[in-house]
Structure 1
Amino acid sequence: MDATRNSALEVWMAEHGHSSNSLADAVNDALERLTGRAGGLDGSSIRSWKAGRVKWPKSATRKALEDVTGLPAIALGFVPRSRTPLKPAPSQEDSAMKRRTLVGGIAAAAAAAAAPGSSHRRIGMSDVDRLRTRFAEVIASDHRHGGQLGIEQRAATLADEALNLQNAGSATQRVRGSLYACAASFRSSAMWAAIDGRRYDDAKGHMREAQALAEMSGDQAIKFRIWSHTGTMYRHMGRPADALAANDVARNLNITRRDPLFASLGHARQAATYGLTGDTAAVARSLGHAQDALERADPDLARPMWMAAVHTGAELETLALAAHFRLGNFEQAETHAHRSLTLLCPRMRRDRAINTARLAAAQLGQGDVELAVTTAMEVPSDIAAQHARVTRMLYEFGAALDATAPGSAAIQAWTEQVADRTTAAQLCRA
C-alpha cells in the first residue's frame, strides 16, 4: 500500500461497513445539521481522503466527520498542516518490521509528556472517557467478528492515540496512569485479534508492548487480561509449558485475591491448558477451583466490560468445553457446550460459532454423525468463511467426518454445505 494513503480511515470504513458514497452521505447529513446547509461531498471526495490527497479537511467538514465517527480527525489518520504525519497502523505483512521499538518508544513518550513546556492544553478524564468509549466499540466488534485484521489495526491505532495524548498537554498522574491503561487495553485487544486470527508473530509483538504499557499504568485488571491472553496464545500455539507459566503470572496478581471472579477465569484457563497436556486430574481440580471462585464472586461489583462472559459463567463453560474436548471426554464436552451456548449473549457471535463447531465435533466423537452435521451447519456462513479459528475447526470436523462415515449421506450433505459456503465467500470477495 502507498505510504501516503490514509489507512486509519480505510480501516474504520471497512469495520463500519461504509463505502465512499455512504460515508459522503453521512458526513453531508452531519454538515447540514451543523451549518444548516447541505454538504457537497461525494464518493470522489472520500476517495481523495483515503488516498491521502486531502491531509486535513476544512473545519466544518472535519467536525461533521468527527460527529459521524465519534473519533477525532487525528485518530482517523488526518494530519494538521503544522504536524508531522503519524505512522499508519501496521499491516500484517510489515508489522514485525515497522512496529515501534518498545521500550525506547514508550520511554520517549513518557519523557516528552513530562518535559517542561511540552504541554499546550489540559488533558483530563473526559479524554480518558472518550478512549474508554472507543474501547467498548472494539470489544463489541470482537464479540461480533473476532480475529479480523481490521479490528487488530483499529485497536493498535487507538493505542497510539492514547499514547499521543501523553504528549498533547499537561495532566495529573491519575490521568496519565489512565491513559497508559487505555493504551494497554487497546494493545491487548490488538493482541487478542491477532491470536484469534492465528497471526501469532503479530500477537507476540502486541503482547510485549501491552505488557510494558500495563506496567506503566499500574492497572491490575489489564495486567491480568494481557497475561491471561498470553497463556491462551501459547495454548493455541501448542506450547503448554509456556501457557501454564503465563497463566500463573495472571493468577498470582493481587486482583485475583481481591476479586474471586478473576481467580475463576485464571483457574478455568489453566484447566483448558491442562486439557492440552492430557492431565485429567489437573483439569478436574482447576475446574473445581474455578467453580468455587465463581460462586464466591460478588455479582454487584463493577468490573471491566471484557469480563461480561465470565460474570455469567459462560466463559467457565466454554473453557471446560475446551478442556474436556482435548481430553477426548466428548460427552462432558457436549454438556459444557450446551451450557455455554445457553449462557452466551446473542451478540457474542464469534464465541457462539466456536462453541457450536466444538459441539459438532464432540457429537461426532460420540458417533452421532447426522446430529453432528446438523449442528455444524448451524455455524453462520460469514464466520465460517472469515474467522481463522472457526475455519480450521470446520476443516478438522470435515476430515473427522470423512474418516468416521466415508460415503455416507451425512458427508454428502456436509460437502454440499461447504461448497455453497465457499461459493458465497468467493462472491463476497469479488
Structure 2
Amino acid sequence: MQSPLNPKSQIPNLKLPRVLIGVGGGIAAYKVCEVVSTLFKAGVEIRVILTRSAQEFITPLTLATLSRHAAYTDDHFWQPIHSRPLHIELGEWADMMLIAPLTANTLAKLAYGMADNLLTNTVLASTCPVLLAPAMNTDMWEQQAVQRNWHQLLTDSRYHGNGTASGLLACDRVGAGRMAEPPEIISHIQSLLHTQGKRDLAGKRVLISAGGTREYLDPVRFIGNPSTGKMGLALAQAAFHRGASVTLVHGPASWDVPLGVQGISIINAEQMQQVMLEYLPDAAVIVMSAAVADVKPRDYSTEKLAKRSLPQALPLEPVPDIVAQLGQLKQPHQCLIGFAAQTGDIVTPANEKLQNKKLDFIVANPIDQPDSGFGSDNNQAIFLDSHGRKVEIAPCSKLQMAHHLFDFVVSGEI
C-alpha cells in the first residue's frame, strides 16, 4: 500500500501527526503491526498502549520496535515514575487515537465512562477523535448489549467507527465481527487527521460514480479506458469519514467497496445512467468522477466474432451523456460535481464543461503528468466552481485530493 501521508523527509519543519494506538486483547491484534509500521514509514509519530489481555497476543517489544518508541502497559500506569500522570501526558499528546482491536469489554467500559486501566483512563483524559475498530466472534458482536454499547458510543461526536467485516474468524465461524483490514484503518486515520474529526457531511446523502465503463462489441471485446476508479473510491471514503451516507456506483474494479458504503456495480454507460438517475432525487451531493465512454459499437454480437469477421470500420453510436442529464434534472438544493481529465490546457475545456453541463463544481486534472491521473495513487488538479472560484491542488494522494475537494465544496456552503 502506498504511504497515505507525506514522508518525514518532505515535512522536516512541520509538526508530525501524532497517533496514539490502544491495542485490545484479541487475535486481530496482529493486524495492528501493519498499521504501526505503515504509519511510521509515512512520518507519523506513534505511541502504543497495550491492555493486559493484549499482551497475551502480541508483545510490547514488537510494537516498540515498529513504532521506535517504548510501548506502554498497565505496569507503567501504576508506577509513579513520571513527572506528570502518564494518562494525562498521553491524552494531551495525541492528535487522534485508534483502538484496535476493540473488544466487547473495552467497548462496554467506554460506553459507560469507566476507567480502570491505562487505556481507558487515557481516553477519558483526552479530547481528540477516537477511531474504533472492533473485532470479536459473531455471536458476541451481535449480542443486544454489545450493539447497544456500540451505537451509544457512536452518538458521542468524539468516536468514529470503522465497523466490522464479514469473513472467516479465528473461531472458524464465518460471519460478522472481523476487524477491518489495515489499509482501510489507515485511510480512516488519514481522514481524521485531515478533518480533526469533524463531520461536515453528516445527514447528507452523497452519490458518487467511479471507474470506467465498458461498451462491448462481443462477449470478449469492448471499448473502454484505463480508469481504475481509485479517485471515486477515495471520494467515497472521504465522504463516509465526514459523516455522509454514501452510494458508490462503479464500473469493473480491482478494489473492494469500503465498509459502510453502499456499492452498486455496473458495466456500461446505460447501466450507470439508470442507477444514477434512480438515486439522484435523494442525493444532496452528486460527484460524477467516472470515466464514462463517449461511444459504443452500434452492433453487438452475442457470440465471439472470429478475427476474420471483425469489421474493417467499426460503426459507432453515442452513449448517454449522464452528467448533462444530471445537470438538467438536479434541484437547487443539490450540488453536482464533475471531472475533466485533460492533457495540455486543462482549464479551458473544464470551464466549458462546467458551464455547458450546468455543474456547480468541476475538477480539472491532468492525465499527462507523472504519477497523476488514471491508475495512479496520486493526483493533482484545479478546482473550479460556477461562481468563478479557482483553487490549484498540488500533487497529493487521491484521498487527500478528495478531502481538498470536499473542503472546497463545503466552503461554498452546500
TM-score range, shorter chain: 0.3 to 0.5
Q: TM-score, normalised by structure 1?
A: 0.33
**Greater strand share, structure number:** 2
How does the TM-score come out when normalised to structure 2?
Answer: 0.34
